[in-house]
Structure 1
Amino acid sequence: MFTVCNDSHNFILLGFSDQPQLETILFVIILISYLLTILGNTVIILVSCLDSKLHTPMYFFLTNLSFLDLCLTTSIVPQLLWNLKGPAKTITSTGCAIQLYVSLSLGSTECVLLTIMAFDRYVAVCRPLNYTSVMHPSFCKSLAGIAWLCGIGNSLIQGTITLQLPRCGHRLVHNFLCEVPVMVNLACFDIHANEVQLFVATLVLLLLPMALILVSYGFIVQAVTKIKSFQAWRKVLGTCGSHLLVVSLFFGTSSATYIQPKRFYGHRQGEFLTLFYTVVTPTLNPLIYTLRNKDVKGALRRVLKIEQNS
């Protein structure tokens, strides 16, 4: 059993409370995953900044992605670990609002950033002679800024609309975090208009980016089939393969969460999907980019060698 706080301003994050035997296992797994997320993404950020050979558009965006993943997991995991370790499952209304705004903003930003990274790979493979002129530093910074503005804007709009819904005292959140779909379900009146608004936002920030990424990779596949050099072909598949794998993991689970019917929000399957794209994916991203990327591994060796020499 979990402890219910009498403060009417608190929400109760039910999460995995109906399976207490699972909570201890999840606590250990999520704690390890969180520590690996911090370590892996911090390493990528430091290596990309310290090694001059990685001062390229691809690694500029990768640094942004790593920073996003660090912030996203930090906005969710500490509260999740706190709720898993004991009977108290509450979160204050202020804490819930902050978590909703921050996680939604970072998740939305990541959707746009992954699309921009697909565009970067398209230009690199399909327009190699124009790559330097197209993806110059000021343009890359502008694209990254657009990604952050889109994320923050979506969060302010969706988050504010969701939090203003009348809940009539409903405080039981059928998830381990305050997320738009489950918070909408706490409303005590017809939420059809809100479901339409959520669908439109999902269409713009999830399905549209997915479509643009698929189009980009369609052109990339066409270009790759014309490459005669095996080494060049292998390098293209190496860098694009890493990004495509990250895209599949993030968009696959997040879209399954946001486009599923209302009646499935908060069900066990939904909770594990949310756990995957908010906790597991940020842990896997650094591994995918380092294990499959010779440039990052080479830069890491050079940075470590410099540190040892100094």
Structure 2
Amino acid sequence: MPSFVMPTSNQGDGHPSPTAVSAVGLRKSYGDKTVLDGIDLHIPAGSVFALLGPNGAGKTTAVKILSTLITADAGDLHVGGHDLAADPQAARAAIGVTGQFSAVDGLITGEENMLLMADLHHLSKSEGRRVGVELLERFDLVEAAKKPASTYSGGMKRRLDIAMTLVGSPRIIFLDEPTTGLDPRSRHTMWGIIRGLVSDGVTVFLTTQYLEEADELADRIAVLNDGKIAAEGTAEELKRLVPGGHIRLRFTDPVAYQSAADALREVTRDDEALSLSIPSDGSQRELRSILDWLDSAGIEADELTVHTPDLDDVFFALTGPANVPNQPKESLR
């Protein structure tokens, strides 16, 4: 599988953005199983970086290494400007981690969970209470603060989990599949929280299996497959790697369908559905050209839809044959 790497993003003044997380040649194996095979990552400060990949691709392993929970076999790794090999403790002071499984203690209240985290950060009692109150307010948990966390919904537990992560005011936060299992409303609430963190200058390293989530949130995305980075770039850059965009014309009049099929070149016919697919990058220029041609030829299509590759297409193309059918997402025009 070829590897595609996009250029490093720059600030508006043309200078490279400060790097919050850097990994060069990151390797990790368990026995004879290579999980991470020399990957490189460079994440600008104050951005959202999403790491995508199928189950078992090594996403959680990467998070555990960069958040100092486990050590790498090899690699030059820096987090928050600190060398993980030389000074992991300094890196820990700059980061927060919310894993796949909640760190919330269900036997105590939300408020007590916050105070416990404040104690772990060696905050004074007064400072711990102040920070706890501010974060509970920020995450809309004041009404539930004195209730056992076991009574919280999944979305509330996730919000409390992230609130606890923020007690130490980390500048870099690792969110490992933070919205897995949440309903759509809770997921959108979480997206708003993540955007708010970034607007405060926090760097977010996100792993997710929801491609829509990466498309919505991430400034840059990397696709991890078989222990290697298969591609990296913005969502739009990644989508341009995958061919297959097309415009679909559907007719109800067989005569109009046949006239269009005879006149247009490089079309894929579906005689049963009376539809034609024309290769296209989905640009406004191409769309206008086809509409102008239909008008000049006096041919009227009953429906026109545009399909451009999305992150699903990118994911399936870069991680091997899909086990589920690829269902193009089309927008009605």
Regarding TM over 0.5, the answer is no
Work out which structure has the larger RCO, using CA pairs closer than 8 Å and 6 or more positions apart in sequence.
1
Larger Rg: 2
Q: Please identify which structure carries the higher strand content.
A: 2
| Bigger fraction of residues in helix | 1
Q: TM-score under structure 2 normalisation? A: 0.23
TM-score by length of 1: 0.24
